[in-house]
Structure 1
Amino acid sequence: MAHGKDAEGPIGIAVLTVSDTRTESDDTTGALIVQLAEEAGLQVMERGWVRDDPDEIRERLSGWLLNRGVDAVITTGGTGIAGRDVTIESVRPMFTKEIDGFGELFRYLSFTEDVGTKALLSRAAAGVCTDKAVFVLPGSRGAVRLAMERLILPEIRHIVSELRKDRPGAERNL
């Protein structure tokens, strides 16, 4: 059964790699997000890199959330349990709503299709920051591919359609 309708027109995304070691030249996970997004017809509006630093993460994300051309932000890296993994702690307080099912499904798929019990270490998450979707992915290529192909890309047009309803000037069905 169909539920809702998909967003019309272009969908813009921003891609943020969080790492103390990766740079533009060796960022394979950010590059994979860009590749898969473009193949799916999404427009990559912004791409950037920040260190595992809460202030840098929040500053970059806050700036992109103000960009009217960005409908969703996808981050990669900093979701583990090591002391330097601070992406979740930096981004989660910015959520106006959390999309709990994303993390649950990501861990389930990771467990059954990829990494087994190591999936319990994943803190992948997603939420809404006002009227933009934010997906927080681990820093491995396998995790990025799984999240993009099985969760984000199949639903991004529906998610964006729902969130665009809340933008200033959007017509509301009352």
Structure 2
Amino acid sequence: MHTNDYKAIKAAVITVSDTRTEETDKGGRTVISHLEESKIEIAHYSIVKDDYEAIQAVVQPLLKQVDVIITTGGTGVAQRDVTIEAVRPLVDKEMEGFGEIFRYLSYTEDVGTRAILSRAFCGTYAKTVIFSIPGSVGAVNLAMKKLITQEVFHIVHELNK
């Protein structure tokens, strides 16, 4: 199937950061750019603090409103990085392969052994897929070009069977 064979997709983009503003959010803008290039509608964009409850408060209502949620930032190992902890309890099924392949690609194409620090994550809830990716522009480009835009239409199709 080609992208044109799938239904239109609505997406939410959430940047997790204590310091970024709409003007300085290069990672979030890069996600949006890739989605727009793939003809995916941006139904929501926001910046949320690195805070468990704040992240859940934004993500949870979107699970019934959009087909795909992409969070960027807060996926490292620092104490303040809680995106994965906030998102994981909201999913029904985890797609471990996303994080595994993301780290492999990061290792071979970009950051070498520092790839083990990435906790990129993907899971589904009902008919929505959630991707949580690092916030750097390099990581966003890698995840969007090599993984998310390549598979998101098929994933959403499968979730709607």
Question: Which residue number corresponds to residue 131 of structure 2?
Answer: 135
Is residue 125–residue 136 contact of structure 1 (8 Å, CA) maintained in 2?
yes
Match of 2:79 in 1: 83
What is the rounded CA distance, in whole Å, between the counterparts of 1:32 and 1:56 in structure 2? 23
Q: Which has the larger radius of gyration?
A: 1
User: Aligned pair 1:119/2:121, yes or no?
Assistant: no
> What amino acid sits opposite 2:40 in the alignment?
L
Paired residue type of 1:75: T
- Residue 29 of structure 1 corresponds to which residue in structure 2? 27
1:61 aligns with 2:59: yes
Matched, 1:101 2:97: yes
SS of the equivalent of 2:122 reads strand
1:45-96 superposed Cα distances (whole Å, 9 cap, x missing partner) = 11011000111100100111121xx100000000000000000111011110
RMSD: 1.4
User: Normalized against structure 2, the TM-score is what?
Assistant: 0.96
Contact 2:6-2:154 within 8 A present in 1 as well: no
Give yes or no for contact 1:7–1:161 (8 Å, CA) kept in 2.
no
Work out whether residues 28 and 141 of structure 1, in 8 Å CA contact, stay in contact via their aligned partners in 2.
yes
In structure 2, the CA distance between the partners of 1:148 and 1:25, relative to structure 1 (3 Å rule), is same
Counting matched residue pairs gives 160
Q: Kindly, what percent of the aligned residue pairs are identical?
A: 51
Shift of 1:25: 1.2
Write the distance in 2 (CA, Å) between the matches of 1:91 and 1:43.
Answer: 22
Deviation per CA, 1:10-49, whole angstroms, max 9, x where unpaired?
Answer: 1111000000000111100000000111011111111011
Instruction: Please tell me whether residue 164 in structure 1 is matched to residue 157 in structure 2.
Output: no
Q: Which amino acid aligns with 2:80?
A: R
* Structure 2: gaps of 5 or more residues: none
Whichever structure has more helix as a proportion of its residues is 2
